[in-house]
């Protein structure tokens, strides 16, 4: 699953390139993104600020600024729902109990109506 588009970090408009995955070891969704070069975000990171809120449209998520890449972009990471809408195909890989809607993601083979 990948995503790219406009976002806001600490009151600054940025462009993000993000990706994420379901991590079966801890049972949570882990995501990361690269912020295209933006001097204000680099200054935040270098001043010691790590925890930020990332907004994409009406969605937001807590994230951590981690490093500046060689091209001047900043890497951010988060755990839980990302600030962008996830692809429904990615949701199908989650165990049934983790779907946000509460509906099973797939039928179990032992259920009475399996295969119908």
At residue 3, the 3 state secondary structure works out as strand
Residue-number span of the structural domain to which 48 is assigned: 1-57
Query: Distance between CA atoms of 20 and 102, rounded to whole angstroms?
Result: 21
Number of domains in the chain: 1
Give domain status of residue 23, yes or no. yes
Give domain status of residue 74, yes or no. no
pTM for this entry: 0.72
pLDDT per residue as tens digits for the range 3-50: 999 999 999 999 999 999 999 999 999 999 999 999 999 999 999 999
Give domain status of residue 53, yes or no. yes
Closest CA to 59 of 37, 44, 78: 78
Give domain status of residue 9, yes or no. yes
At residue 19, the 3 state secondary structure works out as strand
Give domain status of residue 104, yes or no. no
CA torsion 59→62→68→71, rounded to 10°? -10
pLDDT per residue as tens digits for the range 78-104: 999 999 987 644 444 444 344 444 433
Over the Cα atoms of the chain, what is R_g? 17
Inform me whether the pLDDT recorded for 70 exceeds 90.
Answer: yes
């Amino acid at each position: 699953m990948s995503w790219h588009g406009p976002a806001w970090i600490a009151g600054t408009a940025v462009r993000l390139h993000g990706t994420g995955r379901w991590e079966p070891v801890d049972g949570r969704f882990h995501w990361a993104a690269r912020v295209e070069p933006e001097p204000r975000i680099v200054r935040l990171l270098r001043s010691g600020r790590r925890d930020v809120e990332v907004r994409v449209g009406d969605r937001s998520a807590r994230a951590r600024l981690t490093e500046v890449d060689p091209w001047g972009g900043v890497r951010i990471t988060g755990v839980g729902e990302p600030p962008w809408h996830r692809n429904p195909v990615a949701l199908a890989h989650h165990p049934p109990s983790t779907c946000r809607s509460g509906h099973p993601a797939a039928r179990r083979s032992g259920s009475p109506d399996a295969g119908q």
